[in-house]
């Protein structure tokens, strides 16, 4: 009987030992223990996944409209097994939940260890500074494509919309909170990533769209100089006219007045802190739709040059002064396809965007010139030279052809090209050119793989739409 008891006890010990040895990964960090889970990659190797790690204190209550604060240590093991909820105001545009308590990051790493440590990719999502979350990008495709190659991937969240970028343009409500969140996340990663077998001397900061513009700005912040080794902005640049906007002050004043906080109040921040999230959401969507009506600039609540996050108000000077970190920047070959035709991922009240298929198929030279006249060649931009600008732009984008109709989609393609040039191509080239002239190791790419990411039906223009490059590495969605 004693023999059988010993056999039973031994088997029980082996069972417990085996379960423990193959159990979910636990990592001890400066802030406490973190428990993730394993994912078997297509390569047959395992990745370790950690979701929803707080990198800052929740920006709620008195911390709303403040720079992020360091998170408190936790005593219990943190179960890092679910993606965090998106930041408000994601819900009113995308239709699924959000919260102000959203400053979390995720870590995807190879299970196998290495003495030298793994390089890190620090990723910031896109979404026009109004939408975006890490759950959309997932962890499976990222692990299969990147972690399997010996890369640790960190995806982070930051505050959006008014909670991230509302500003009075002065010390009462400085703004840029979403950028400060990104900086705080980068500091946090530098502090703990060695515990995940990461090499903090090899951190690439990268992002797509608004995330590309964000990391382009992040790379110029003095506080970030020693926190990364190289930069990869995708379809976004600090030089994009939507990436920094002084107009955000005027728009912020409109929002604060609408919510019942006089823009002239010395205590405007305290007034805004007392408002519910639902009050912001109620007024925001119709105002955003009004701002972008008949406007080439689709992003209105965005970062601004404040002399604090970047210690100068001139991007050229900031670029010249920053450490010459390697930069790999690029665009997709037909960025603006996603804005040009009706699709489920982007909708605009602007009648010149999201064109129905039949309109796109029959887009004429007159349509193109009408777009340039009504959206670009405005008197408020060019004064009495607006007609001259209209003539020059129309001639430049029409000079490749004598077409008078759109039987071969020529003018529809030129319509896409001019929107791509203004929002993505020219800004990326400006950044690359300036950095190359200032001795940055600089590389430029154009992604042209022709895939359908928008379910738009027949593809009238061949090429890669906005977000095509990141789709190949992450999820099936663009945002």
Q: Any idea which residues carry the catalytic annotation?
A: 209, 335, 466
What token pair was written down for 313?
A: 């108000």
Contact predicate 229/416, CB 8 Å: no
Q: Report d(CA 395, CA 342) in Å as an integer.
A: 27
Two structure tokens written together for 293:
């009506």
Distance, in Å, from the CA atom of 196 to the CA atom of 219, rounded to the nearest integer, reads: 24
Return d(Cα 47, Cα 41) in angstroms, integer: 7
Beta strand pairing call for 152-156 and 104-110? antiparallel
How far is C-alpha 451 from the geometric centre of its chain's CA atoms?
A: 21
The sign of the torsion formed by the CA atoms of 6, 7, 8, 12 equals positive
Task: Report in angstroms the alpha-carbon separations of 212 from 96, 123, 125.
Answer: 24, 9, 8
Give the DSSP letter of residue 352. T
For residue 49, give the H/E element and its range. Answer: strand 46-54
Q: Within 13 A of 7's CA, how many CA atoms are on the CB side?
A: 4
Q: Residue 218: which of 300, 122, 149 has the closest Cα?
A: 122
Separation between Cα atoms, residue 82 and residue 7, nearest integer Å: 39
**Long-range contacts, 387-395 (Cβ 8 Å, 24+):** 393/418, 394/368, 394/369
């Amino acid at each position: 009987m004693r023999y059988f008891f010993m056999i039973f006890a031994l088997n029980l010990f082996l069972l417990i030992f085996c379960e423990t040895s193959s159990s979910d990964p636990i990592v001890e960090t400066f802030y406490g223990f973190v428990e993730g889970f394993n994912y078997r990659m297509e390569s047959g190797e395992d990745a370790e996944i950690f979701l929803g790690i707080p990198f800052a204190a929740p920006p709620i209550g008195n911390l709303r409209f403040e720079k992020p604060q360091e998170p408190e240590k936790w005593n219990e093991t943190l179960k890092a097994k679910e993606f965090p909820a998106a930041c408000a105001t994601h819900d009113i545009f995308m239709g699924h939940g959000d919260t102000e308590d959203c400053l979390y990051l995720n870590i995807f790493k190879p299970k196998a260890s290495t003495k030298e440590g793994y390089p890190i990719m620090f990723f910031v999502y896109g979404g026009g500074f109004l939408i975006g979350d890490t759950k959309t990008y997932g962890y499976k495709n990222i692990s299969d494509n990147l972690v399997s190659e010996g890369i640790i991937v960190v995806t982070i969240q930051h505050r959006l919309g008014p909670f991230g970028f509302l500003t009075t343009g002065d010390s009462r409500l400085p703004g840029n909170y979403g950028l400060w969140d990104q900086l705080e996340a980068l500091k946090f990663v530098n502090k703990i990533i060695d515990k995940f077998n990461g090499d903090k001397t090899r951190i690439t900061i990268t992002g797509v769209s608004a995330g590309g513009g964000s990391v382009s700005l992040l790379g110029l912040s003095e506080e970030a100089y020693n926190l990364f080794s190289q930069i990869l902005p995708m379809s976004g640049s600090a030089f994009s006219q939507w990436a920094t906007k002084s107009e955000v002050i005027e728009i912020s004043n409109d929002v604060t007045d609408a919510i019942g906080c006089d823009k002239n109040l010395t205590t405007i921040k305290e007034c805004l802190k007392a408002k519910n999230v639902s009050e912001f959401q109620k007024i925001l969507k119709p105002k955003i739709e009004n701002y972008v009506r008949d406007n080439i600039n689709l992003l209105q609540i965005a970062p601004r040059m404040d002399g604090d996050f970047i210690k100068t108000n001139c991007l050229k000077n900031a670029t010249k002064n920053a450490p010459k970190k390697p930069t790999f920047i690029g665009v997709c070959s037909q960025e603006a396809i996603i804005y040009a035709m009706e699709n489920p991922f982007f909708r605009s009240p602007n009648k010149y965007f999201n064109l129905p298929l039949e309109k796109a198929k029959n887009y004429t030279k007159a349509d193109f010139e009408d777009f340039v006249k009504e959206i670009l060649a405005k008197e408020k931009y060019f004064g009495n030279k607006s007609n001259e600008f209209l003539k020059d732009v129309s001639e430049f984008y029409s000079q490749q052809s004598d077409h008078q109709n759109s039987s071969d989609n020529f003018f529809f393609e030129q319509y896409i090209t001019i929107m791509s040039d203004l929002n993505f191509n020219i800004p990326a080239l400006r950044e690359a050119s300036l950095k190359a002239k200032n001795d940055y190791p600089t590389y430029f790419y154009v992604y042209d793989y022709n895939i359908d990411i928008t379910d738009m039906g027949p593809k009238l223009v061949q090429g890669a739409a906005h977000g095509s490059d990141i789709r190949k590495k992450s999820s099936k969605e663009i945002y």
